[in-house]
Amino acid sequence: MANSIRIKNIYYMLAYAYQALNEVGYKNVETEEFKNIHDLLSSILIKGVSGQIKRGLHRDYVQQTETIGSLRGKIDLTSSVKRQTTMTRQMVCQYDLFLEDTQLNQILKSAMMILLRHGDVKLINKKTLRKILLYFENVMEINPYRVNWSAVSYHRNNATYKMLINICWLVIKGLLLTTDDGKNKMAQFLDDQQMHRLYEKFVLGYYKKEYPQFATSASYINWDLGEDDSKTFLPVMKSDITLTYGVKTIIIETKYYGQTMQSNAIFNSTTIISANLYQIFTYVKNKDVGKTGNISGVLLYAKTDEAITPDNDYLMGGNRISVKTLDLSESWEDIKNQLDYIASTLLS
């Protein structure tokens, strides 16, 4: 489905999903034309990594292990005994060096190398990537399939890496493929799983930026249970996006599927996907504890190429439930208008 999305729209989605893209250093990316997703991501990395080089690449203490003749750091007795280093009047020592060869820089280098070797990247960007990689001479290139993403952490000294690592995630997790003969190649489009992740973050980021008067979050919803009822075995309810303004709240669930409707061959009918409708209905009803009708819900699908796509509003038990599609192949202004229309229901 991603092949129908305008490449420029993916840039705008990234800009809202990762607010760091709105910084001055990235502004000229917005004016560029991109023929494919590889070019777009390489251009973002070029701007971002160039800025990081000016600020200074992240350094950290990296443990080194070496067999040497004089004490440095601390002795690794177990390894020294195993290697019988005393026979040569040496010892195995462990010590720390303050190096650029950190996990964050390794991920950056590996993603840039993937784009350089396998990406459909225009020549000028390839030349720039090669120049940038000279600054990573002392950084090890790692196997992209073995990146321990859960171990990536951020603090005050490396916070500027967060958006860059997210772009690397898209390159590695969303585009990198392995062929039957074990070679790497790159897909022309982000896979649906990564697009769904981006789509959700984009819609949340859009409302946070464009409607600061709203309380916008991905919030948990409590089950509306009796005082003596147990929550045991009940699933956690967490919305993709919750918008609150005054006494009104809209719960939005984003869906990025190959299909927005389900078909029943027996009855020859097409309907909204049951599980999704039940989900948003449950969220709304449990959120509206006072049964005020001020809580509404929206299923927001990314538009597909199906002949029939939903664009419906229902009043269910006093609450408005809407099923809408956002056409990501349209102009950016059209996309904004669709999102603004949803927001307008809170303001009316």
Residue 1: per-residue pLDDT:
55
pLDDT-based confidence at residue 341 (cuts at 50, 70, 90) = very high
pLDDT exceeds 70 at position 2: no
185 vs 335, more confident: 335
| 159 and 218 inside one domain | no
pLDDT exceeds 90 at position 306: no
Q: CA angle at residue 173 from 333 to 157, to 5 degrees?
A: 85
pLDDT-based confidence at residue 20 (cuts at 50, 70, 90) = confident
| Over residues 166-170, mean pLDDT | 92
Interatomic CA distance for residues 161 and 175, integer angstroms: 20
Residue 225: per-residue pLDDT:
93
| 219 and 118 inside one domain | no
Interatomic CA distance for residues 277 and 269, integer angstroms: 17
Reported as a single tens digit per residue, the pLDDT across 218-235 is: 999 999 998 888 889 999
| Over residues 264-290, mean pLDDT | 91
Interatomic CA distance for residues 183 and 177, integer angstroms: 8
| 218 and 149 inside one domain | no
| 70 and 107 inside one domain | no
The CATH number linked to 342 is: 3.40.1350.10
333 vs 310, more confident: 333
| 76 and 159 inside one domain | no
Domain end among 160, 190, 220 = 190
| 109 and 127 inside one domain | yes
Residue 189: per-residue pLDDT:
76
Interatomic CA distance for residues 223 and 216, integer angstroms: 20
Domain end among 190, 205, 228 = 190
Lowest mean pLDDT among 86-95, 170-179, 268-277: 170-179
| 91 and 111 inside one domain | no
| Global confidence as pTM | 0.82
Range ranked top by mean pLDDT from 171-185, 199-213, 268-282: 199-213
pLDDT exceeds 70 at position 24: no
304 vs 98, more confident: 98
Domain end among 99, 128, 156 = 99
Residue 73: per-residue pLDDT:
80
Domain count, the chain: 3
State what percent of residues in the chain have pLDDT above 90.
58
In the chain, which residue ranges form alpha helices assigned H by DSSP? 7-17, 37-55, 77-83, 103-118, 123-133, 162-169, 192-210, 274-287, 332-347
Cβ proximity of 102 and 62 under 8 Å: yes
pLDDT-based confidence at residue 237 (cuts at 50, 70, 90) = very high
Reported as a single tens digit per residue, the pLDDT across 40-87 is: 999 999 999 999 999 999 998 888 888 878 888 888 888 888 888 878
Residue 205: per-residue pLDDT:
96
| Over residues 231-244, mean pLDDT | 95
Residue 215: per-residue pLDDT:
98
Residue 182: per-residue pLDDT:
64
Reported as a single tens digit per residue, the pLDDT across 100-159 is: 999 999 999 999 999 999 888 999 999 999 999 999 999 999 999 899 999 999 998 899
| 163 and 223 inside one domain | no
| 66 and 107 inside one domain | no
Supply the DSSP string of 103-128, one letter for each residue: HHHHHHHHHHHHHHHHS---HHHHHH
| 174 and 214 inside one domain | no
| 157 and 281 inside one domain | no
Residue 294: per-residue pLDDT:
97
Residue 228: per-residue pLDDT:
84
Q: Which residues pair with 62 in a beta bridge?
A: 97
Domain that holds residue 70: 60-99
Average pLDDT, the chain: 89
pLDDT exceeds 80 at position 30: no
- 310 three-class SS: coil
| 22 and 129 inside one domain | yes
